[in-house]
Chains A and B, each alone.
Chain A
Amino acid sequence: MKGNGQMQATVFFSFFLLGLCEFFIDLKRTIYIALFCAFVCSGLVLPFGANAQTIGDTFTVKQVEVNGEKQVLLTGLKTTFIDSATLSYNRTATLADVLMQSNSIFFKSFGVGLSTPVFRGTNASQSKVYWDGVPITSSTHSTFDYTLVPITMVDAIEVDYGNASLKNSTGSFGVGVNLITKNKPADEVLIFRQSIGSFGTYKSGLTLNFGNQKFWGSTNLYYEKAKNDYSFINTAKSGSPVEKETRAAFTQYGILQKFGCQISEKDVLTLTTWYHVAPRDITPPIISNSIESRKDSSLRFFLNHEHKFKKSVLSNKFYFGNERLKYINLTANLFEVNNAYRYNYVSALEGDLTPKINYNLNGYILHDNAVTNHYKGTPNQTRYSISGTGTHSINDNFRYSVVAREEVINSRVMPIIYNASVLAGWLKDYHFFVKASYGTNYNYPGINDLYWVPGGNPNLQAEYAKQAEIGLHFTQKIKVGSFTADVTGFNNRITNQIIWLPGKNGFYEAYNLKKVNVVGLEFHTEAKILLGDLSIIPKLKYSYTQSTNLEGINALDDSKNKQVVYVPYHLTAANIRINYKTIDVYGEYQYTGFRYITSDNTDFLPAYGLVNISAGNRFSIYKNSISLRLKINNLFNTNYQAVAWYPMPGRYIEISTQININK
């Protein structure tokens, strides 16, 4: 068995090294950075002592508990979790806010109503969002608006970096964000939430849980409204006057209804319906006076059946989603309605083949179609996709993993994509290890890229990426808690990147023109200090990203070898949470480095730093509780723009309360 393992490891390594060789030149830089950070890490951890734990003989795939849900980690790839405890402090925040707190992500915020991510130097369509593993990123424009998910809808968030999301689908070069909802009955009978904030912001929510261990249900209602009439300095006008935003009003409301049934000891069935409506202004840049608004509405059904075998779990998911966008442009006298429909069936089998081999088989059929005046006919996309993931532990010092996925999209057989990764070190409890991975991925063009009239290009090819990661992880238990440090260097090379450029008639047209190389480094460290009723959790995150355009359109193109627009080199977030009994205090500093806004890097937006604070207390009355929270975002009223000509809000103050009635 041991010999077999060594042979498999040798084959794996040959495969893995072949891929890494392709990246050797670019990786050199990454390795240097990683080694440098390893040095820094070792310096940081020395005071805590190098107290390696005893290595056991039995391998268990690392699993993370999220309210009873188990998530299998791929080895060698980076995945982070935002658990329910962290989310509970952020019930009035947007998904974008929460992700920025916990990960190195820059969001292109067009005012307050629209946010799309720039992660690891990739663009918005190269990151995907999933709902319990089912893709919910738009099939038409290939992006997801991170302001449209109330955090109260979500029980945990899984953030898969790079190829870690291959287990769900293709196309996430940057990040795959999986919104996890629990499939077990909750302890609370009733939860009521209310908040009042600056700029005419009101948020209300009500959750009603009912049933028993056999049959249960949950009704979650929410309503949010904001005038967003914040003041800003209008640098587009003579004298830079202070003005009030008048075109940023935002409303969203919806209901999420869940029913669950424990059919037998081994079978669970859940049915979830989510109806969401968000009418809102489209904030124009301050150099324009256009009057535009949109109403996004969506209806989603999700049926999930899980059957537990002795050593595995089989899940079958059926998903239907209808996303409807009403777009009104009073300036252009335009009124348009776009409808997109998604049907998805996913089957996944996950388990342990042997105590040392874990597997995950996944297959899905996904059908998208869309209706709008801008298409000729009703374009559709059908994908048949299968994937297999295997993780093998040779011993407690060495582990490797392989994932491969094959798809047929609209009768087009796509190339097999894969990822191979390895962990080596003291793996027990993830104490100290080196990790490395190499893989490929592609991002198939969205329906708009292919069929939008005017400008869509049916001859577009899929964007293609080669991705490599290397890093170190260290976790040390100390007398009063624990300390963790993690550093990851990565290199993504993206070819055939799709861009829209103005054609001769002034209409934008889609082309496969760009070739981008991204080299970067992510560093994360945190400590948990527990002193009786007092807990202190400081965290520090830093990322460096160099996203370089490798090809020019012609010899005059000065964007060649320049940083891609809106990719900040430096992102830093430092935060600290202090809990004492029922009281918690939180403070964070987020730094976003300068971003070039022209492709020849001649113009840029300046860096900015924001300080956000919050404090809360929870009062218990019998089994029930009331919590109060005060939050101040942008404490120092910093004037900044994340995207050029879109001024962001100044100081925002919010008071919120949550009442929990328990069983």
Chain B
Amino acid sequence: MTTIKKQLITLLALATFFACTKEKTPVVTTTPGDDLTKGVLIINEGGFGKGTAGFDWYLPAKKQLSKDVFKSTNGFPLGDVLQSISRVDDDLYLVVNNSQKIEIINRNTGKSTGTITGLSSPRYAVASGNNIYVSDLFSGKISVVDKTTKKVAKTITTNGWSEQMAVVGNEVFVCRIIKGNCKIMVIDATTQTIKDSSLLVDDEPQWIVKDKDNKLWVLCDFYAKTKAATLLKINPTTRAIEATYSFPDMGHSPSKLSINKAGYELYFLSKGGIYKRSISYSGAVVGPFISKNSFSLYGLGIDPSNGDYYLGDAIDFTQAGYVFHYNNNGVAIDSFKAGVNPSGFYFGE
């Protein structure tokens, strides 16, 4: 065998080896001057009572990941169970459920700018006017935080567990859960009082989004499994349920309801992967659009800039989870290990 042939075979073997090797997303550390708005924030909820909450920063263009940015930027851990991230002006509000607090960071630098305490078990935060409304698992109240003082200025009684909220005009629509008496409650954002509590919905409404027509979509899942989960379309003006779409069987436990930037396409996680549904479609729930069979699909995000999908897999909930990145046609682009329990994504527009 000639030397050239040997070299060619070696080259071919090396090429084959590298072609078969799984590409790894490089893990880097954030440096001063990095702008977090240019990437995707991965919400790592962490284990309950384990103090492993945090967020990673992913740059899709470079396929580059910075891990646990809050701790590396601020020098102390975020806390226990990062439930959600919301933008309020130039800040991000990190709602840390089991630490009973909201950490406020600058949305560009990630530097801590304050902490809101005096909360019981905060879940989500939405801004309307000069106030931020914080839902709560245990307190039976919505906390109203003054944007200027960053303190709880008032509480609004809901008499039950409150989950996601949506703002339509001057009204805040709240998913309120009491078994057998679940409602979408309406808060008047000008007076910070309950304006309407008459809209009864199916059990356990946790997820709510607003579409391009200012209609609200709510996912309800009966934990007790006495009835299949439902997707509701609600008219926020008339407070009427305009449509109810039942899931085909009890095996569906839909979650993480999201909507595209243009507001006409709904997405959610359920049995077997990611589901997509036009707001104008009136047929039964079909899918999934992207199949992913896993025991623990846990996070979903749609990048408003390009429609890319991000899917979080918590695996066994006690280890670093995986994130899968797909383009808007559902073609896999990348996958990498994130933090513990990747439950959601924030896109810094």
Contact = CB atoms under 8 A, between A and B. Distances in A.
Given A287-B77, A287-B79, A333-B139, A644 B51 contact: yes
Nearest to B256: A504
Interface of A is mostly: loop
A332 B160 CA distance: 11
A599 interface: yes
B253 A645 contact: no
Interface in A239-295: 239-240, 285-290
A288 B80 contact: yes
A325 B95 CA distance: 32
Interface residues on B, range: 35 or more
Contact of A236 (B76, B223, B224): B76
Given A331-B138, A565-B318, A238 B75 contact: yes
B335 to A, nearest CB: 9
Interface string B238-263: 00000000000000011100000000
Contacts of A211: none
Interface stretch (B34-42, B299-307, B308-316, B326-334): B308-316
A235 B75 CA distance: 10
A396 to B, nearest CB: 51
Contact of A598 (B117, B254, B320): B320
Contacts of B206: 505
Nearest to A332: B138
Interface string B46-67: 0011111000000000000000
A553 interface: yes
A556 B75 contact: no
A334 interface: yes
Interface string B106-127: 0000001000010011000000
B120 A559 contact: no
Nearest to A562: B319
B51 A287 contact: yes
Contacts of B162: none
B296 interface: yes
Contacts of A329: 138
Interface in A23-74: none
Contacts of A235: 76-77
A288 B99 contact: yes
A507 B223 contact: yes
B235 interface: no
Given A287-B80, A287-B99, A334 B138 contact: yes
Interface in B271-325: 294-296, 313-320, 322
From B52, B74, B221, B224, name the one whose CB has the most chain A CB atoms within 10 angstroms: B52
A237 interface: yes
A287 B322 CA distance: 24
A558 B318 contact: no
A557 B316 contact: yes
B316 A288 contact: no
B137 interface: yes
A285 B99 CA distance: 9
B121 A332 contact: yes
A240 B71 CA distance: 13
Contacts of B322: 556
Nearest to A240: B76
Interface of B is mostly: loop
A4 interface: no
A3 interface: no
A559 B318 contact: yes
A411 interface: no
Interface in B192-212: 204, 206
Interface in A92-139: none
Given A553-B296, A565-B318, A600-B320, A331 B51 contact: no
Interface residues on A, range: 35 or more
B98 interface: yes
Contact of A285 (B80, B140, B337): B80
A287 B47 CA distance: 12
Given A236-B76, A287-B99, A598-B340, A501 B120 contact: no
A553 B293 CA distance: 11
Contacts of A553: 295-296, 315-316
Contacts of B77: 235-236, 287
A289 B122 CA distance: 13
B52 to A, nearest CB: 7
Contacts of A333: 120, 138-140
A445 B341 CA distance: 27
A559 B204 CA distance: 33
Interface string A501-537: 1111101000000000000000000000000000000
A354 interface: no
A332 B340 contact: no
B204 A331 contact: no
A454 interface: yes
Contacts of B340: 598
B100 interface: yes
Interface string A613-646: 0000000000000000000000000000000110
B241 to A, nearest CB: 21
Nearest to B100: A289
B320 A505 contact: no
Nearest to A508: B48
Interface of A: 235-240, 285-290, 329, 331-334, 454, 499, 501-505, 507, 552-554, 556-559, 565, 597-600, 602-603, 644-645
Closest CB pairs A-B (n = 5) = A504-B253, A332-B138, A600-B319, A287-B51, A599-B318
17 contacts: A236-B77, A238-B112, A287-B51, A289-B101, A290-B98, A501-B317, A502-B48, A502-B314, A505-B204, A553-B316, A556-B322, A557-B315, A559-B315, A599-B316, A599-B318, A600-B319, A645-B51
